[in-house]
Amino acid sequence: MRHLPRVSSTSIISASDENYKDAVAAAVDMLRAGEVVALPTETVYGLAGNVFDPAAVAKIFAVKERPSFDPLIVHVARREDLPRVAIVPEDIQPTVEKLLNAFWPGPLTLILPKHPDVPDLVTSGLDTVAVRQSASKIFRAIGKELGEPLAAPSANRFGRISPTSAYAVQQELDDRIPLIVDGGACAEGLESTIIQITAGEKRPTITILRPGPVTKEMLQNFGKVERPKRPHDGSAPSAPGMLPSHYAPRTPLLLIEDWEEFRPEPGKKYGLLSYTGEPGKGYVSRYRWSIVEALSPGNGKLPEAALRLFHLLRKLDNAGLDYIVAEPVSEVGLGVAVMDRLRRAAAVH
């Protein structure tokens, strides 16, 4: 069994304006000492460690109970730090530059050939690395002050619901890490979009490996956009975020895309994760649910649904239910990413 680092307690420090410098200093001190700390990003909270410190990277895997075959995303604080961790091939360099100009800093992760200085543990032995620049001011400030890129997967135990608040991180990792920097609720609420770029005769091909806040529609101006032709088969992934089962609550989740598929068991408590929560819409009035939570109350707006997804999954997970039932949302724009997370959460049980 993998040894888990234990600490006597986990401190939480606010990154509010009046406490901003203290939060940066506290996090940098920990990172320089080889520790891992939870930091806010615009997507979800990340569990960060110095990417060039193999012992710190090993702590990330141990704290999360993450299998070593699942690679990590590397975060650069400055765009000019990209060459320290990745090599941009000449045939895709113009496309990469255009994408970085459009979406960095922000929730877009690129798969690129890795720099030899990046430890193999970070990339799980792959010759590619996943890299992005977060739009979070506090995250970038800590990286700049440290002077090193950060490996930072989501700050939760492996396979569980990604945290979008400091409180959610504390629920997941209390006493496993020394410090959580509280930057408030995440602005996006879903993990970054992960893409891979290949050159083409006329236009490059952009393959979306994990859907996220940067949608297919947003990427179409930069190349031919595709999704992987076949779902991941459960073998070692070629990039972060590729495993078929992930983002799951402890309570079994049922994604019911056709109401006729729902077969409730007598005596069991079911809660509904509804799109709008409106009676007469979706599944709200079709069963006597123990609790109903709405992703976008009354409106059915996909950005709001994406932002609230993990928060509401965690809330339903703590409601004492036997099952969580999730309604489908429209698979356009951000709906693709929401459905991706729901399908993988449902695949766990």
3 state SS for 183-220 = CCCCCCCCCCEEEEEECCCCCCEEEEEECCCCCHHHHH
The overall average pLDDT reported for the chain is 93
| Residue 1 confidence (pLDDT) | 35
Q: Which residues contact 128 (CB under 8 A, 6 or more apart)?
A: 111, 112, 113, 114, 238, 239
> Count of CB atoms within 10 A of residue 119's CB?
16
Q: With CA atoms as reference, report the closest residue to 215 among 107, 327, 342, 349.
A: 107
Q: What is the pLDDT of residues 192-208, one digit of tens each?
A: 999 999 998 889 999 99
34 pLDDT band, cuts 50/70/90, is very high
156: tokens are 């939760």
To which CATH superfamily is domain 253-346 assigned? Threonylcarbamoyl-AMP synthase, C-terminal domain (3.40.50.11030)
C-alpha distances (whole Å) from 274 to each of 98, 278, 292, 302, 313 are 38, 8, 7, 12, 11
Q: What is the pLDDT of residues 222-245, one digit of tens each?
A: 999 998 755 455 556 778 877 776
User: What does the pLDDT average to over 278-295?
Assistant: 95
Q: What is the pLDDT of residues 38-86, one digit of tens each?
A: 999 999 999 999 999 999 999 999 999 999 899 999 999 999 999 999 9
| Residue 2 confidence (pLDDT) | 45
127: tokens are 């010759």
User: What does the pLDDT average to over 90-118?
Assistant: 98
246 pLDDT band, cuts 50/70/90, is confident
| Residue 242 confidence (pLDDT) | 72
Percentage of the chain surpassing pLDDT 70?
95
Q: What is the pLDDT of residues 125-153, one digit of tens each?
A: 999 999 999 999 999 999 999 999 999 99
| Residue 4 confidence (pLDDT) | 52
pTM of the shown model? 0.92
Instruction: Break the chain into its structural domains and give their ranges.
Output: 11-78+120-182, 253-346
Q: Is the per-residue pLDDT at 8 higher than 60?
A: no
**What kind of architecture, by CATH, is found in domain 11-78+120-182?**
Alpha-Beta Complex (3.90)
